[in-house]
Amino acid sequence: MAGIALTDLAELLSALGAPPALVLVVVLATLTARWSSSRRSPQDACDRLRFVRLRRSRLPGVTVPSAPPASAPASWPYGTFMSRLDEPIRRELLQLGGTRRYAPDEILILEGEEKNDLMLICGGLTKVTAGLPDGRTALLALRVGGDLIGEMSALNGWPRSATVTACARTEVRRIPKDDFMSFLSRNPDAALDLAAMVSDRHRWSNHRRIDFSSYPVRVRVARIIADLARTHGRWSPNGVVIDVHLTQPDLATICGAAETSVQKALREMRTEELIETDYRKLTVRNLAGLREAGMLDPDEG
């Protein structure tokens, strides 16, 4: 963010409908971050540079006050909001709100709702969808542990712009808007990280709104894996490792396809050495080939 002009950052947030108070917080956070960057250790600088390069990875429906979830991972998937934060700020964020658990296929956020709280996903997998004028549904994104959802309504007060549905058992921290805004005021670095996350998501959604229902299952599966590689992948000697535990039933739910069809698509991709799978992770061996299989520009992303 150091190379982004303050005026550009303010204009971006204003265009997204952020209230003036948040714009001011983020601008102040930018100034604070730039001033304090010279005081960070060389290791901090290396860690941030590595992240920039990598980016180029109870009863359902009942909310109860609770301590931070014991299931919160020691490290969060690359590309998520939590992965951007320093550890003390993560701990503070995990103290906000209450824990809520959702079963597969349960809706966390409903498009058109007039609510302004937000959720921090502590574990699980969700899909973000939006209705199309012809009545079909478009898959816009996947959100995993460490991601924020519902942040746009918290920032601009508008109705929910999309529906978020659990694809697996999912645990969240449901955070009231006022608590989150106070958190940002206390932690200007977190406000800066939020601005970067919102900017990344806005650019991506403007770049390509994908209607997966128009494509064969193989194309849909390839696109989902390619998107996960872009957002949550980390480079390794064998390819891009995706730190998201995505099962075949999860993929089938996201794709809106039969599990047998997804299995066939994955088998073909393994045979073609596009991907490599095991129980806990998925590795993209040939990212350009995978993107081509998803009818995407092989050199993009």
DSSP result, 280-300: S-EEES-HHHHHHHTTS-TT-
Question: What's residue 1's pLDDT?
Answer: 43
Q: Say whether 173 sits in a helix, a strand or coil.
A: strand
Question: What's residue 224's pLDDT?
Answer: 86
Weakest-pLDDT range from 26-40, 114-128, 176-190, 199-213: 26-40
H helices of the chain, where?
6-15, 20-37, 42-55, 81-84, 87-93, 151-156, 177-186, 188-207, 217-232, 248-255, 259-271, 287-293
Give yes or no for a contact between 160 and 150, defined as CB atoms under 8 angstroms apart.
Answer: yes
Beta bridge partners of 241: 234, 283
At 215, the pLDDT band (50, 70, 90 cuts) reads confident
Q: How far is CA 252 from the centre of its chain?
A: 20
Residue 61, CB half-sphere, CA atoms under 13 Å: how many?
Answer: 4
What is the domain partition of the chain in residue ranges?
A: 6-207, 215-293
At 9, the pLDDT band (50, 70, 90 cuts) reads low
Residue 281 phi/psi, 5-degree rounding, is -150, 165
Residues above pLDDT 90, as percent of the chain: 41
Residue 124 tokens read as: 């699980």
Pick from 148, 145, 135, 153: nearest CA to 19: 153
Rounded mean pLDDT, 217-222: 92
Rounded mean pLDDT, 169-196: 94
d(CA 252, CA 51): 31
Which residue is it, tokens 């000697």? Answer: 237
Fold for the domain defined by 6-207: Jelly Rolls (2.60.120)
Rounded mean pLDDT, 129-139: 80
> Which amino acid is located at 278 in the chain?
D
Residue 169 phi/psi, 5-degree rounding, is -60, 125
Q: In the predicted model, what is the mean pLDDT of the chain?
A: 77
Q: Read off the pLDDT of residues 221-275 as tens digits, 9 standing for 90 and up.
A: 998 899 888 877 888 999 999 867 667 887 887 777 889 999 999 999 999 999 9
Question: What's residue 43's pLDDT?
Answer: 43
d(CA 94, CA 205): 28
d(CA 168, CA 207): 28
Question: Above 60 in pLDDT, residue 190?
Answer: yes
Pick the CATH number of 215-293 from 3.90.1140.10, 3.40.366.10, 3.40.50.2020, 1.10.10.10: 1.10.10.10
Question: What's residue 242's pLDDT?
Answer: 84
At 50, the pLDDT band (50, 70, 90 cuts) reads very low
At 65, the pLDDT band (50, 70, 90 cuts) reads very low
At 205, the pLDDT band (50, 70, 90 cuts) reads low
- Greater confidence (143 vs 74) lies with 143
Pick from 183, 178, 115: nearest CA to 149: 115
Question: What's residue 53's pLDDT?
Answer: 39
Weakest-pLDDT range from 59-63, 87-91, 115-119, 131-135: 59-63
d(CA 226, CA 220): 10
Question: What's residue 63's pLDDT?
Answer: 38
Weakest-pLDDT range from 26-35, 138-147, 154-163, 291-300: 26-35
Question: Above 70 in pLDDT, residue 204?
Answer: no
- Greater confidence (23 vs 1) lies with 23
Question: What's residue 57's pLDDT?
Answer: 37
